[in-house]
A and B are shown apart, each in its own frame.
Chain A
């Protein structure tokens, strides 16, 4: 899968309260959550996001609480991928498990600015900065992680797996 989009750039330690403030935790509908994506970072941020945009963050992106709402809000807002120097552990798990492509790449963080247009090949982890004509290599995702993301998340992935295995056993 090739992802392409315009970049929003953030610093280190962007926490889950910035991504999705605690007051919205009772919401579970993704579209509703999307309306508040990054509101804790900047009040009018949700209106700025366009379908396909890419987030680039520093180290420890998504630190803080274990709320799955945070990556859900990012994905539902239309963000196609997050590249960061490093991710907080639970955010990383949650992100993959809800089907949000995540790539760790410190060089990409240094070499990408806000507003740049970036292209990512999710198959091999190649990140191209089309604005600056530079490229970076993130660690490629193993096949089962790609499967989870392509399925749209862990729930769908398991569902597909179970369906297929049943078909085989019939």
Chain B
């Protein structure tokens, strides 16, 4: 009997010789990450545990991205706690305000390798499955335990396989595939399970799109999302990150899946998840014309260079609608610099959009772009829950970067074809 890629990674990080879904195993962790939200509580628990050192200072990153630059006094205190911790325990992989979003920095800096097992103090840690790693988010106390021991207990998730077939249409990308998928299976459709994305369409996706898909696996309740590494992954690791040593795992042909879903995406149009659930998937044509007040392009879902290029393609020689505030936040400093070099930032500013500091801020209604009562936004982020971006009557429509950019120009939800 065979194993899936997820099961193989887990097996290679534990002492037991066989596993099956539902088993509880203790695993060795390759890398851990925390931020300015869950971090301070982990630090408190870590000290309560009487720990004197982090299990391996090379294998931990602290990234201050949620309320940075310090939004208010309590954010300032939280960041200070983390700064002090990093200094006291010698955590060199420390990224202060303005460096970028944790789930972008993590792979950009080479902390994520295919085959690795990564635990983070944030639910979107699932993102790294896009590179063929097992990664998942945990709470603060759990993370404190890993900080001290380098180990964590996990329940082996049952395995779901998603196979995408057909020819992916123009303007459709990873974001649309994942919104469509969540629409099909519901926001608890993969609860506690693995979402393994495969098929010819996935093989054709760029790494950015793969990260986007795995990023939103949590929106279907998944424990992890994962895509088998292939030539594209190897090329990305070698050319972009400069790492060639890692283990590549692939699912066996006779691996056991609890269920397999097959989707032919040849006729899929860009997807929009309407309030108040990422599972409320609609084709963009069903919602075009709805007036909007704000457009947000960025986040750990769609804040990478490819996303910004897509948005720039639409915004070039166009103007943001006078009634719309368009906020673009690059996922990291590196992406910001590259976007400058390529002239994308010029395009954005000339169009009337504004550029925010790389970080989370607006994505979760933290700061910089909070919505007022009854306001509506189109956003490339991952959640559109009640009050996610501000007032509880405000609404967020989730889309890909091209739809968001087109909507910014039109002042209403729009298909990219309407503006190019």
Residues of A within 8 A of B (CB): 66, 68, 89-90, 92-94, 96-97, 139, 141-142, 144-145, 148, 154-155, 157-159, 161-163
Chain B, range 115-172, C-beta contacts under 8 Å to A: 138-139, 141-142, 144-145, 148-149, 153, 155
A residues in contact with B250, CB < 8 Å = none
Main secondary structure of the interface of A (DSSP, over half): helix
**With known contacts A66-B139, A89-B223, A154-B145, A96–B153 Cβ distance under 8 A:** yes
The answer to whether the Cβ of B24 comes within 8 Å of any Cβ in the partner chain is: yes
A97 to B142, CA, bound (A): 8
* Contact (Cβ within 8 A) B48 A68: no
A96 to chain B, nearest CB (A): 7
* Contact (Cβ within 8 A) B148 A162: yes
* Contact (Cβ within 8 A) A155 B141: yes
Residues of B within 8 A of A (CB): 22, 24-26, 45, 48-52, 138-139, 141-142, 144-145, 148-149, 153, 155, 191-192, 223
B387 to chain A, nearest CB (A): 15
A88 to chain B, nearest CB (A): 8
B residues in contact with A144, CB < 8 Å = 26, 153
Residue of B nearest to A148 (CB): B153
A29 to B144, CA, bound (A): 21
Complex A-B: 12 CB contacts under 8 Å: A89-B192, A94-B139, A96-B153, A142-B25, A144-B26, A155-B45, A155-B144, A158-B50, A158-B149, A159-B50, A162-B51, A162-B52
* Contact (Cβ within 8 A) A155 B49: yes
Extra 8 A-B pairs, beta carbons < 8 Å, given A93-B138, A154-B145, A155-B48 = A66-B139, A93-B142, A97-B142, A145-B24, A155-B45, A162-B51, A162-B148, A163-B50
The 9 A-B pairs with the shortest beta carbon distances in the complex, nearest first, are: A158-B49, A89-B192, A159-B50, A158-B148, A144-B26, A159-B49, A154-B145, A158-B145, A142-B24
A51 to chain B, nearest CB (A): 26
A158 to B26, CA, bound (A): 14
A147 to chain B, nearest CB (A): 10
B residues in contact with A94, CB < 8 Å = 139
A157 to B45, CA, bound (A): 12
A68 to B142, CA, bound (A): 12
B residues in contact with A155, CB < 8 Å = 45, 48-49, 141, 144-145
A157 to B165, CA, bound (A): 48
A141 to B141, CA, bound (A): 21
B residues in contact with A90, CB < 8 Å = 139
A89 to B142, CA, bound (A): 14
B residues in contact with A97, CB < 8 Å = 141-142, 145
A residues in contact with B26, CB < 8 Å = 142, 144
Residue of A nearest to B49 (CB): A158
A residues in contact with B49, CB < 8 Å = 155, 158-159, 162
**With known contacts A144-B26, A158-B148, A92–B155 Cβ distance under 8 A:** yes
**With known contacts A142-B26, A144-B153, A162–B139 Cβ distance under 8 A:** no
A residues in contact with B155, CB < 8 Å = 89, 92
A residues in contact with B139, CB < 8 Å = 66, 68, 90, 93-94
A59 to chain B, nearest CB (A): 11
A107 to chain B, nearest CB (A): 15
Residue of A nearest to B192 (CB): A89
* Contact (Cβ within 8 A) A154 B24: no
A163 to B49, CA, bound (A): 10
A19 to B45, CA, bound (A): 24
B residues in contact with A162, CB < 8 Å = 49-52, 148
B residues in contact with A161, CB < 8 Å = 148-149
A97 to B191, CA, bound (A): 20
A170 to chain B, nearest CB (A): 14
Q: Which of A68, A154, A162 has the most CB of B within 10 A?
A: A154
B13 to chain A, nearest CB (A): 14
A residues in contact with B138, CB < 8 Å = 93
Q: Which of B25, B45, B192 has the most CB of A within 10 A?
A: B192
A141 to B153, CA, bound (A): 12
